[in-house]
Amino acid sequence: MARASLIAIALGALLASCAPLATPPVASDAPHSGGTLVLAWQEPETLHPFYSTGTQTNALVYRVAVEGLAGVTPDGVPRAVLATEIPTAANGAVRLDPAGGMSVRWTLRPGIRWSDGAPLTSADVRFTWHAVMTDPRVASREGYDRIVDVEIPDELTAIVRYRSIDVAFATRFDALLPRHLLEGADATALAAYARAPLGTGPFRITEFVAADHVTAERNPSYRVAGRPYLDRIFFRFVSSVDAAKAQLRAGEVDAALSLSEADAADLERESDIRVATATSPSVETLAFELARPGDPSAPHPVLGDVTMRRALLLATPKGRIVERLLLGRTRPGTSELPIGWAAPAGLAQDAYDPDRAKRLLDGAGWVAGADGIRAKDGVRAAIRVVSTSGNRLREQIEQVLVDEWRAIGVELSIRNVPNATLTGSWQSGGLRKKGDFDVLLAQAGLGPGSTDPQSYLAQRHRCDAIPRAENGGTGANYERFCDPQVDALLDEAGRTLDTDRRRALYASVLGTLNDRVVAIWLYDRGRYDAFRARVAGYASNGWDVTTWNAEDWYVR
């Protein structure tokens, strides 16, 4: 039975733990230079910051080398990185014009150099905008497509002029590209950059060996004296979270990153391992493909029916999954924005009710066959779920769904693939980009380094953000959801700086997504990173990637 299956999986999973949610790192000795850290991580498809599809898989690696004008603090507040300050109207760096546009003046810190010794200038800011707008491999141009010009009156000043208000301007240029290296670069040079991007960060990436590792070495041109402390960081590619945990226990790696609540409970029992935690704006999600795979103009033969999607939501025991597989360390998901100033209050999805799910399907004409699986108009209710291979928690959740959904007459099969296959670019045939799935089990929510929901929601849910051949696969609307009313709401939210008005508009968008059951928000995700006790200097930041302050890391 479905319930028995869930109980069996839970008993076979990690033992329940009474440990507190967060185990702070032990007090560190005085920092000192030298040493190498080995991190267990999944292999990224690319290290080009603008070819990435927005997941932390790529960013966690390239961010040790590549910086932008701004980043984000552990409190979810923008922080200046290569800029001297965050532009605002109060400091005179943001100005609105009567025609409806705006200008944003960014001032670079003086004396910054790329890791090859070349000076960083405002021309690199202008070049980054041009590259984003002209390179066909860029994953999304959202926000940058509102820019009409980037003026560079001097080497440290870039004035970004927008044709319309961009409320998320502080999240643009979160990575800068080196003009002196990439201007006029041919395909070979661009491919080389995507494997070892040049940056201004504390480390420089010197080696990318497919299926094995990435090496990042200390950047001698880094702007902060005495940083980084480490000589190098070695990213060892692993096939699964279990492999990362085993290598961490054996001392073969120094850290296993972005773990689940259950993984954290397991590792907290180890005396020589510390688990750092933080709240996160991410949510584990079951995203429904609303279009026929391979044809975004036609509805999905099964999931194109909103009644079917609602029935699957009603047949998903989110509460029991949280309690038994995640040891009650989080809460069932309610929306795509679980925390932050724009998180909607009081929004929720339908609760678990498989009997109601059956009644809805009966009423919608989905008739059960001799084997118990329903069909309608000759279409069998058989779908597949896709996720990353080697993730035991996700595999356990999938097994629960197989049983629970079959109990209401829907056949679910499992097709898990390596992360690079799932999250790859349009050009490489990434399954998310191509829509080659029925249900996608993955992380959603604000991406690493993002504090403003406008850019994220526009990339995820606008009609023109559906990846297709005509737009070169840009955008991240993987569900192929298209609603002109949602587009209008997001357009209005992007034109006003009134925070209360924006919050109300986003609540309307998120409410529509729930009403249309575009996805099932399984549970709110925390940030859990496990380090061996010899590692110090790290600081949890649920709004950014784990390596956000890698310049401060050191070994005892």
Tell me, yes or no, whether 498 lies in a domain: yes
| C-alpha–C-alpha distance, residues 56 and 37, integer Å | 19
**Which CATH number belongs to the domain containing residue 351 in this structure?**
3.10.105.10
Per-residue pLDDT, 53? 61
Per-residue tokens: 153 = 């009156």
Mean pLDDT, all residues of the chain? 92
Helix axes 241-249, 392-406, angle to 10 degrees: 140
For residue 148, what are the contacts with CB-CB under 8 A and spacing of at least 6? 101, 161, 162, 163
The mean pLDDT value for 428-442 works out to 94
Q: Which residue type occupies 328?
A: G
Per-residue pLDDT, 232? 98
Per-residue pLDDT, 55? 64
- Confidence check: pLDDT of 26 > 80: no
Question: In which domain, by residue range, is 485 found?
Answer: 280-526
Tell me, yes or no, whether 3 lies in a domain: no
pTM score above 0.75: yes
Confidence of residue 29 (pLDDT cuts 50, 70, 90): confident
Between the CA atoms of 549, 550, 551 and 554, what dihedral angle is there, to the nearest 10 degrees?
Answer: 120
b/e for 8-38, b at 16 or more Cβ within 10 A?
A: ebbeebbeebebeeebebeeeeeeeeebebb
Confidence of residue 210 (pLDDT cuts 50, 70, 90): very high
Strand pairing partners for 445?
282
Quick one: how far is CA 463 from the chain centroid?
20
Tell me, yes or no, whether 291 lies in a domain: yes
The tally of domains found in the chain comes to 1
The mean pLDDT value for 15-34 works out to 54
Helix (H, G, I), strand (E, B) or coil at 212: coil
Tell me, yes or no, whether 309 lies in a domain: yes
The mean pLDDT value for 363-384 works out to 97
Read off the pLDDT of residues 94-132 as tens digits, 9 standing for 90 and up.
Answer: 999 999 999 999 999 999 999 999 999 999 999 999 999
